[in-house]
Amino acid sequence: MQIAHSIEDLRRLLKPTKQRTFVPTMGNLHEGHLELVKVAKQTLPEAISV
């Protein structure tokens, strides 16, 4: 897991040519979110959650 603490960190971590899935959680994680992350990881190799 990589954690970005700023926009600059995020830009440095993300390579513009890679495709990723995004799972918005708003910090309130529950089993449904974990299932969404599993499906996202099956679709593309990288998933991002916020």
14 to 26, 31, 32, 46: CA distances (angstroms) = 20, 26, 26, 10
Residue 31 sits in which domain range? 18-49
In a domain, 28, yes or no: yes
The active-site residue, picked from 14, 33, 37, 47, is: 33
In a domain, 26, yes or no: yes
In a domain, 10, yes or no: no
In a domain, 44, yes or no: yes
What total number of domains does the chain contain? 1
pLDDT at 23: 86
pLDDT at 15: 76
In a domain, 42, yes or no: yes
In a domain, 5, yes or no: no
33 is catalytic: yes
Grouping H, G, I as helix, E, B as strand and the rest as coil, residue 49 is strand
The 8-class DSSP code of residue 3 comes to -
pLDDT in tens, 1-50: 788 899 898 888 887 767 888 888 887 788 988 898 889 888 888 877 77
